[in-house]
Amino acid sequence: MLFHVRMDVRIPLDLDPGIAADLKAKEKARFQDLQLAGQWRHIWRVVGEYANVSIFDVADNTELHDLLLSLPLFPYMQIAVTPLCRHPSSVHHDDR
């Protein structure tokens, strides 16, 4: 299943800068692992915000939920999820 996920990151301003840097490094590594595995298919920055819009390709809601919980920055994120399905007018046959 494909999911459109918007993640707004809200790291507290008083969080120790070293801890914040460590969390960001772990988040990047986790993201890259998920991207290489094909689960995190696309990511785009939202201009002017500490946020992204992503497309996930996972088996079901539970897999997406568990994946999002595994993100190091999860405790500092506001997340909105929208399930997606193939549009019948699409000219692409691989955009499930």
Q: What is the DSSP string of 34-65?
A: HHHTTSEEEEEEPTTSSEEEEEEE-SSHHHHH
Percent of the chain at pLDDT > 90 equals 88
pLDDT category at 96 given cuts 50, 70, 90 is low
How much is the pLDDT for 94? 73
How much is the pLDDT for 90? 85
Determine the distance from the C-alpha atom of residue 43 to the mean position of all C-alpha atoms in its chain, rounded to a whole number. Answer: 7
Model pLDDT for residues 1-37, shown as the tens digit of each residue: 999 999 999 999 999 999 999 999 999 999 999 999 9
Q: Count Cβ atoms below 10 Å from residue 40 Cβ, excluding itself.
A: 21
Percent of the chain at pLDDT > 70 equals 98
pTM for the model stands at 0.90
Domains contained in the chain, CATH given: 2-84 (3.30.70.1060)
The continuous run of DSSP H or E covering 84 comes out as: strand 77-84
Give me the residue label for tokens 């692409």.
Answer: 92
C-alpha 79/C-alpha 81 separation (Å) is 7
Q: Per-residue pLDDT averaged across 36-59, rounded?
A: 97
